[in-house]
Amino acid sequence: MSYTGPPLDPFDPFGAPQPRRSPLRRGLTVALAVLVPGALVGWLAYATFGPDGEGDGSGSAGAATGTASAPRWPNVGNGKSGLAAPSGSTDAAPSDSASSGAGSSGEGSLAGKVVVIDPGHNPTNVEHTAEINRTVDIGTHSKECDTTGTSTNSGYSEARFTLDVAHRLRTLLQQQGATVKLTQDADRPYGPCVDERARIGNAAHADAVVSIHADGSGAGNRGFHVILPGSVRAGAADTRAIVGPSKDLGKLIAADFAAATGTSPSNYIGGGTGLVTREDLGGLNLSTVPKVFIECGNMRDSKDAALLTSGAWRQKAAQGISEGIVSFLRG
């Protein structure tokens, strides 16, 4: 910024002599010349970078006009999130504190809504095979408590993938004002079992539950699909009340997931619709609230695996799922 006060030289630019000032007055003038620009520079720096010293690129424009600057979104893949990148992954998930949601355009729009995110499997299931192999009642029949899940050929596990996407999704939904709960956060030795996963969503009176997975099909099988609950009434299972709303939720997630990630619906299941109905999943059979599963891609296909192991792509996946949930909850 240029200084616009009176000339500090005793002569003007054209050489015309100016009246001499007293030494005291000259001293005050010089002091002001130094202090005023310094103060302005300091104020502009504060307006640009804020008290935390991290500029978001919007800077002085917002400060000068009195308008709010653009919201700060999580820094994906820059190593500054505070979380270590999982093995086989190109980027780490943002921490919840990395993006508090302050100033986001949808802040508060889901206030009062409860979303349960169900990250499939558990990173330490492999250490508890006896526990996860025991069977539980899912209404239609008995099924294993849980499984270890699949992995890419390079060893990046489905359990680590689902937890990473769950963290990203939680942050996005919290920015919208929703209350978000996870069925597990690598905070237990194994599981929970599929029947308990359903009970967690039911007990929370969730407005929507999404179980996150990645498939382990053959090479060449690509794309995502969303699994919807079929109409089941057997034993402890009765899905009749949730079939309709779950289908609505699944359709919205499928459409927004495709748009956000640029990926196509599965080429090996669902007939190109990206939607599959099943009656053999305990997490769906025992749910009393709207719930779907999403298989985000096939970990055993090299092209899909390249996406699933990318932090930038996982952020897009979380964004797509989030947008589908938000659309569903807004009605």
DSSP letters for 177-227: T-EEEES-SS-SSS---HHHHHHHHHHTT-SEEEEEEEE---TT---BEEE
- Position 163 scores a pLDDT of 98
Tally of residues, the chain: 331
* Mean pLDDT, range 308-316, rounded to an integer: 98
**Which residues neighbour 23 within 8 Å (Cβ) at sequence distance 6 or greater?**
none
In terms of Cβ atoms closer than 10 Å to its own Cβ (0-12, 13-18, 19+), residue 24 is: exposed
* Mean pLDDT, range 154-161, rounded to an integer: 98
**Where do the structural domains in the chain lie, given as residue ranges?**
1-70, 96-330
Cα→Cα distances 265→221, 235, 253, 258, 282, Å: 11, 33, 12, 7, 24
CATH class for the domain made up of 96-330:
alpha beta
Residue at 225: amino acid letter: H
- Position 22 scores a pLDDT of 42
Residue at 7: amino acid letter: P
- Position 94 scores a pLDDT of 57
| DSSP state, residue 50 | T
- Position 108 scores a pLDDT of 62
Does position 57 have pLDDT exceeding 90, yes or no?
A: no
> Any catalytic annotation for residue 295?
yes
Choice among 158, 196, 295, 323 that is catalytic = 295
Q: 248-304 pLDDT, tens per residue?
A: 999 999 999 999 999 999 999 999 999 999 999 999 999 999 999 999 999 999 999
Q: Which of the four pLDDT bands, split at 50, 70 and 90, describes residue 69?
A: very low
- Position 258 scores a pLDDT of 98
Q: Which of the four pLDDT bands, split at 50, 70 and 90, describes residue 48?
A: very low
Tell me which residue has tokens 């355009």. 105
Residue percentage of the chain with pLDDT more than 90: 67
Residue 192: alpha-carbon gap to chain centroid: 22
- Bridge-based pairing of strands 233-234 and 208-215 is unpaired
Q: Which of the four pLDDT bands, split at 50, 70 and 90, describes residue 41?
A: very low
Its pTM stands at 0.71
